Chains A and B, each alone.
Chain A
Amino acid sequence: GENVEQHPSTLSVQEGDSAVIKCTYSDSASNYFPWYKQELGKRPQLIIDIRSNVGEKKDQRIAVTLNKTAKHFSLHITETQPEDSAVYFCAAPNYGGSQGNLIFGKGTKLSVKP
């Protein structure tokens, strides 16, 4: 089945700096890679996703890159702001065990210092 590993587990940056979170996956059939943001005490919310037919997708200050050969995808946040502080989760579908259900990474706690 799919195994999703996420690094780092914690990340602290100064306001205005960039932040990068990386995930690796094991199932070469995976074709959909979402990123969720979860603020303290709140629900996870989708912030960006990428499908396997593109290598990069941008939405204002956030971008996701995908390297299917190496089986990894990354979240890039530029010009970070204090409101970017949250836990970020990556995910990939599991085609082996649960037939397309999402398997989540363990999360990255991002702290943006003013």
Chain B
Amino acid sequence: NAGVTQTPKFQVLKTGQSMTLQCAQDMNHEYMSWYRQDPGMGLRLIHYSVGAGITDQGEVPNGYNVSRSTTEDFPLRLLSAAPSQTSVYFCASSYSRPGRGGNQPQHFGDGTRLSIL
């Protein structure tokens, strides 16, 4: 049982490049989410999914796309990288949305440290 696995751990991109951050969980969790963490800003929700085929926007969705073709995987795509997207990205999962259905705790991955030059 690996929990939540994120790849890569580190990445450097040039402005305008695109890339996909991978996230996979093996706990059969329905709810998955992506956060970005910037100094002094806490964790801000980018996109989330309540099940395969269902995604929605969070607080800061601009410049990012997601898809959920399987229960296990929830990739985050940067369409055209900008320096403002330099951040640490965390993927998290739980059985259900944290504020509904029994208040399930979220499990986080180790994060991807992304620098955009």
Contacts and interface: CB of A to CB of B under 8 A. Distances in A.
Interface of A: 6, 9, 30-32, 34, 42-46, 49, 51, 89, 91-95, 97-107
Contact of A101 (B41, B99, B105): B99
A101 B103 contact: no
A95 B99 contact: yes
Interface of B: 33, 35, 40-45, 48, 56, 58-59, 90, 97-100, 103, 105-111
Given A92-B99, A93-B97, 13 more contacts: A31-B103, A32-B99, A43-B110, A45-B108, A89-B42, A91-B98, A93-B98, A98-B48, A100-B99, A101-B98, A101-B99, A104-B44, A107-B42
Contacts of A34: 98, 105-106
B76 to A, nearest CB: 16
B interface SS class:
loop
A1 B12 CA distance: 34
A49 B45 contact: no
Nearest to B104: A32
B105 A98 contact: no
A30 B99 contact: yes
A44 B108 contact: yes
Contact of B99 (A6, A31, A89, A105): A31
B59 to A, nearest CB: 7
A102 B45 contact: yes
A101 B56 CA distance: 11
A100 B33 CA distance: 12
A100 B97 contact: yes
